């Protein structure tokens, strides 16, 4: 469905996580955004472990330079940015701030109540537990849950996180 239509799409989770975890409908950087969506997809609050059995978005994550990375999330990000639903602004001292635009807020209002309840609850919990962390902290946290040290990360580049989770490396 068209990104500006009224039905829920996984792209809307990008907007929703910015809304929930950011101050003033903004979030500090792509790394933070990526890791929050990673935890939305894989973190089980009941077991404090990663799992592939949650009802969650279907973003495929693999290990990359900064930990879990999803081309699907980046494609969604780019579509939202190109449609003017989010904007990215360079901040003093380095980095970027990602902000929901007025059009993005309208989109969120249009899909309100259409995101599956289990995903809504998961996003709320992720926001509470991880929302105040910086991107670098979230990278470290995600790698720790995957059972990968910073020194080992390069050995796993390109490995789908689902493989690591199902093989019990977390």
pTM attached to this predicted model: 0.90
- Taking the chain (170 residues) in consecutive chunks of 10 residues, what is each chunk's mean pLDDT? 52 89 81 95 95 85 95 94 94 86 91 85 93 94 95 94 80
Return the pLDDT at 143: 96
Contact 141, 130 (CB under 8 A): yes
What pLDDT is attached to residue 7? 59
pLDDT for the residue 38: 97
Is residue 2 situated within a structural domain?
A: no
pLDDT value of residue 71: 95
SS3 72: helix
CA distance 33 to 15: 10
Q: Give the count of domains, the chain.
A: 1
From 70, 63, 91, select the one nearest 148 (Cα to Cα). Answer: 63
In a domain, 42, yes or no: yes
Distances 96 to 68, 140, 148 between C-alpha atoms, Å: 19, 20, 27
User: What pLDDT is stored for residue 5 in this prediction?
Assistant: 42
d(CA 49, CA 165): 9
Q: What would the pLDDT profile of 31-58 be if each residue is shown by its tens digit?
A: 999 999 999 999 999 999 999 988 777 8
- Residue 97 in any domain: the answer is yes
Assigned domain for 30 exists:
yes
Q: Which structural domain, as residue segments, surrounds residue 93?
A: 11-162
């Amino acid at each position: 469905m068209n990104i500006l239509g009224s039905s829920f799409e996984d792209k809307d989770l990008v907007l929703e996580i910015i809304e929930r975890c950011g101050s003033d409908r903004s979030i500090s950087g792509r790394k933070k955004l990526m890791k929050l969506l990673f935890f939305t997809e894989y973190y089980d609050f009941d077991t404090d472990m990663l799992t592939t059995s949650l009802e969650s978005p279907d973003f495929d994550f693999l290990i990359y330079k900064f930990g879990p990375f999803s081309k699907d999330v980046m494609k969604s990000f780019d579509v939202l940015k190109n449609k003017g639903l989010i904007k990215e602004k360079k901040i003093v001292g380095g980095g970027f701030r990602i902000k929901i635009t007025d059009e993005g807020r309208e989109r969120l209002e249009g899909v309100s109540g259409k995101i599956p309840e289990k995903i809504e609850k998961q996003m709320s919990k992720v926001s509470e537990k991880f929302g105040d962390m910086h991107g670098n902290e979230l990278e470290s946290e995600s790698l720790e849950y995957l059972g990968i040290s910073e020194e080992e990360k390069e050995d796993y580049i390109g490995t789908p996180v689902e493989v690591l989770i199902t093989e019990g490396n977390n």
